Structure 1
Amino acid sequence: MRMLAVLGDYYHDARLLRKALDRVLYSLRDQETIEQITIDYLGPKQLDDASFEEVDLIIIASENRINPEEEQVEKWMTEKIAKKIHQFVENGGGFLAWHSGFACYDGVETYLDMLKGSFDYHPEKHVEVTYHIEDDLFLNKNIQDFSFIDEHYFMHCDQDQTNVFLTSASEYGEQVAGWYHELGEGKVCCVVPAHTEEGLLHDSTGEILNGSIEWLIKE
């Protein structure tokens, strides 16, 4: 099982995201879901030249802006890269968009069409966000409602074109927080939480990522 992952950006700590993902991969090994896992951590610009041969899953948890605080903002996701990923999924690959993997991809229509959703905004204040599993059969895990202090991501999601399995709620309202669908011969899963260390390392966040990856790699 080979994976490629692009984690982290200006606002999101790559080391923390990797720590959270590594915990999930260890659990997958422990439960013998995957006997061997090879994962390559890439910078976003490396996707253009990366070979997707013998790759089973691509994970993106990185927003599209490389230098968001500068006057001239540079973005890394081109239509060329998006079409390359889209073709990979259509040919049978798995794709996981995670947290900042939805942010600032406006204009990259191939990528947004693949996800069936995008990030709109989050209130500046961190608040208690409660997550609720809407589709137990998708994850095949008994995850009760759970909460932690975090950014509350507000999302656009074309719910007629996908399957919502996770929602979120806070003092700011309710939102879609996770969905999944097939694309050609492959699969796409979108997981919104989390930003803070508390949220990323929360056991239930790990279980959601665990179940999502299991579904993505299941033949």
Structure 2
Amino acid sequence: MERVLAIVGDYYHPEEKIKETLEFVLKNTYWVDYASINNFSMLIREDPYLVIIGRENKLNPQDKNSLIWMDDEIENLLVDYVSNGGRLLVMHSGLASYDVSGKYVRELTRGYFKYHPERKMVKYYGRYPDKDKDIYFEIFDEHYFVEVDKESTNIFLYSTSLDGESVAGWYHEYGKGKILCLTPAHNEALANENLRKLLRDLILWM
């Protein structure tokens, strides 16, 4: 089986809930190697089939001067990995608190988290990147509002709630590689059957 490298979980998003979802979605297809902030640089050098980032950049977001885990070395490693043919999936908080002028946001994700209101029913709708099939599901979730460079990516998913509408999923090529960003979902909402099916389909497409 192909090897997936994942770094997930942060102050607001328990690692266990994300792992449970990834294990369910990837079972019998991929082998998942979970990295820590201490060994991520070493493991990405081993050229995994896919890298998943599902954690925010701040180590302690409640601290005004919180340390961050993604430094220039890691940004450069990710840029090299994707440009040489790697695949990068950025989930939910993987878009949060990263330097908007850094290579991770400016060159790779091309979008970032801005804010979210209190949780409520959120509708997700769009169309699969690779087939003539619509996407539609609803979750009681944090409605992530993001800023996306729409001119340099392909948007395939939107989100809407009483608080407004936002982009929820986008993808693009970078060098020889591919990047996909997905904003849902927060903690308990990860168990949604439709979301899990979408996540598996997207990973297989990547």
TM-score normalised per structure 1:
0.88
Q: Which residue of 2 aligns with 1:74?
A: 67
Look up the SS of the partner of 2:21 in the other structure.
helix
Unmatched 5+ stretches in structure 1: none
Look up the SS of the partner of 1:50 in the other structure.
helix
Change (3 A) 1:185 1:160: same
Q: Which residue of 2 aligns with 1:122?
A: 116
Change (3 A) 1:54 1:106: closer
Unmatched 5+ stretches in structure 2: none
Q: Which residue of 2 aligns with 1:14?
A: 15
Look up the SS of the partner of 2:45 in the other structure.
coil
Q: Which residue of 2 aligns with 1:176?
A: 167
Distance 1:48 1:54 in 2: 11
User: Equivalent of 2:198, from 192, 198, 208?
Assistant: 208
Distance 2:131 2:23 in 1: 21
1:212 counterpart letter in structure 2: L
Give RMSD over aligned pairs: 1.6
Q: How many angstroms does 1:63 deviate by?
A: 0.1
Give the conservation status (yes or no) of the 8 Å contact 2:119–2:143: yes
> 1:12-42: CA deviations, max 9, x gaps?
011000111111112xx3xxxx4xx221101
| More moved, 41-50 vs 60-69 | 41-50
| More moved, 38-47 vs 187-196 | 38-47
Look up the SS of the partner of 2:121 in the other structure.
strand
TM-score normalised per structure 2:
0.93
Give the conservation status (yes or no) of the 8 Å contact 1:140–1:211: no
Q: How many angstroms does 1:45 deviate by?
A: 3.3
